[in-house]
């Protein structure tokens, strides 16, 4: 196992996980007692597959806009640089079930979308780099693997 590092995900053995999954990365308590919960939402198997940028970019817009309709206290949802997943941060909501339910509803919203929100030069830094169809394919695959979301690690042979 690699040495413990400052970034939690750098200490995670990516060869032992099995996507798709939703994993609580950690909880940080602020000076005033607020708790911030960070989740690893892994869409693709690390080092074997990744999301293409237009689809990833569009599902980012769609999830950022829609998850807030289903989950209170969302701070942010953003893609991983490796293009295999997203990080979701919420505050003062310690319910893993709430997160799973909100994600499921959000992915259904993606499948029902007719357009990508904020997909224009005024609201987006790379408006030409979007694919609604790509985002919907990513969401559909994630929903098809919903029964696996709770299992982070591959079973040992």
The binding site for Fe cation comprises: 57, 61, 124
Q: What is the DSSP letter of 38?
A: E
94: left (phi over 0), alpha (psi -120 to 50) or beta: alpha
Q: Are 42 and 84 in contact (CB under 8 A)?
A: yes
Nearby residues of 18 by Cβ (< 8 Å), 6 or more positions away? 45, 148, 151, 152, 153, 154, 155
Binding site listing: 57, 61, 124
Helix H segments across 48-156?
Answer: 53-66, 96-112, 132-144
């Amino acid at each position: 196992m690699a040495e413990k590092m400052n970034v939690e995900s750098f200490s995670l053995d990516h060869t032992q996980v099995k996507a798709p999954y939703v994993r609580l990365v950690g909880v940080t308590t602020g000076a005033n007692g607020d708790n911030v919960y960070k989740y690893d939402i892994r869409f693709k198997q690390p080092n074997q597959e990744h999301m293409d940028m237009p689809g990833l970019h569009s599902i980012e817009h769609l999830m950022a806009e829609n998850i807030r309709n289903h989950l209170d206290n969302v701070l942010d949802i953003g893609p991983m640089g490796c293009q295999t997943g997203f990080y979701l941060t919420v505050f003062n909501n310690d319910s893993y079930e709430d997160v799973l339910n909100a994600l499921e509803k959000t992915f259904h919203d993606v499948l029902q979308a007719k357009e990508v929100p904020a997909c224009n030069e005024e609201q987006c830094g790379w408006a030409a780099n979007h694919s609604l169809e790509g985002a919907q394919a990513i969401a559909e695959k994630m929903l098809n693997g919903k029964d696996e979301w709770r299992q982070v690690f591959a079973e040992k042979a």
